[in-house]
Structure 1
Amino acid sequence: MMVVNVSEAKAQLSRLIDLVYHGESVTIAKNNLPLVDLVPHKVRGRRTLGALAGLIQIPEDFDQEDSVINEMFYGETQPAEGKDGTN
């Protein structure tokens, strides 16, 4: 494993990148304390649309208000409004 200080890394960045590309471990240090590891970029795989289909179940009452949560937001329990906006 190679440890280089920040100023040396600035001066030799291309060489360090080449070393990492070929499998060498490189750590960049500041004041002799390891700061970061220089690592090659890993290409992420593509996401598959619908990969979790059938694995997640949403309860029937998912969009219903919860009286405990309403009380945390509004203080006392608020009376439910009718469909026409009246109590």
Structure 2
Amino acid sequence: MKTFNIHEAKTHLSRLVEEAANGEPFIIAKAGKPLVKVTALAADGKPKVQRLGFLEGQFLVPDDFDELGRDEIEDMFGVRE
């Protein structure tokens, strides 16, 4: 990640903001000390959360998944086919 001093950031602010919006965040420093990190915001202001598919390919579901434990479950509920 690139670091720019305040004067340099002021001089090139438009370009730096455009780059940050395109996924290249940067840091603004004063006297060599980092002060702020500039990053792009999500379109709606909230971070994008991906819930579906985040474990894809991590495990296999057996073909008989819906049959596993069937006898025990039927015994617990007193149901037999």
TM-score scaled to structure 2, two decimals?
Answer: 0.51
Q: Normalized per residue, which structure has more helix?
A: 2
Q: Which residue of 2 aligns with 1:19?
A: 19
Matched residues, percent identical?
38
Larger Rg: 1
Counterparts of 1:44 and 1:18, CA distance in 2 = 17
> Which has the bigger relative contact order, CA under 8 A and spacing at least 6?
2
RMSD, matched Cα: 1.3
Distance 1:18 1:44, change over 3 A: closer
Contact 2:4 2:27 in 1 (8 A): yes
1:16-55 alignment to 2 at 5 Å?
16-42=16-42, 43-44=44-45
Unaligned runs of 5+ in 2: 47-81
Unaligned runs of 5+ in 1: 46-87
| 3-state secondary structure, aligned to 2:40 | coil
Counterparts of 2:16 and 2:32, CA distance in 1 = 18
Aligned length: 45
